[in-house]
Amino acid sequence: MRICGIDPGLKGAIAFADVTASGFSRITVYDMPVSDLVDGRDQPCEDGILNIFDAEKPQMTVVEHVGPRPRSGSASEWRFAMGFRALRGCLRAWFRAQGAGPGVHLVTPKVWKSALSEPGQE
């Protein structure tokens, strides 16, 4: 199964791997594609994301579900939320076009970090 993991920030990344019973293979990592289509400030680039998905063709995607960052200003939080929503919409549209189910799962940092830690390291 080809899976995808996404850190949704502007400096985030999109990673892909084939997962089998024997492990991971064909691992590919992309920087988050960005464009400056909104008032000269960077935003995730939906076309870039779709191009990557067309090339990689994952069956499932896991997106880090992040919330508000207490020390960020309202303008930067608004831009981050807009980018996060654009990313989710883009992914849902891609999976729908493939005739696949939802294909997109949100996972909080606490959950995925816990799952990857060694016993006793939580």
For the stretch 44-54, pLDDT in tens is: 888 999 999 99
Contact 33, 48 (CB under 8 A): yes
What is the second-level CATH architecture of the domain 2-116? 2-Layer Sandwich (3.30)
pTM above 0.85, yes or no: no
The structure tokens 């696949």 sit at 100
Calpha distance 72→79 (Å, rounded): 11
Quickly state the pLDDT bin for 86 (edges 50, 70, 90): confident
**Domain range summary for the chain, segments of one domain joined by +:** 2-116
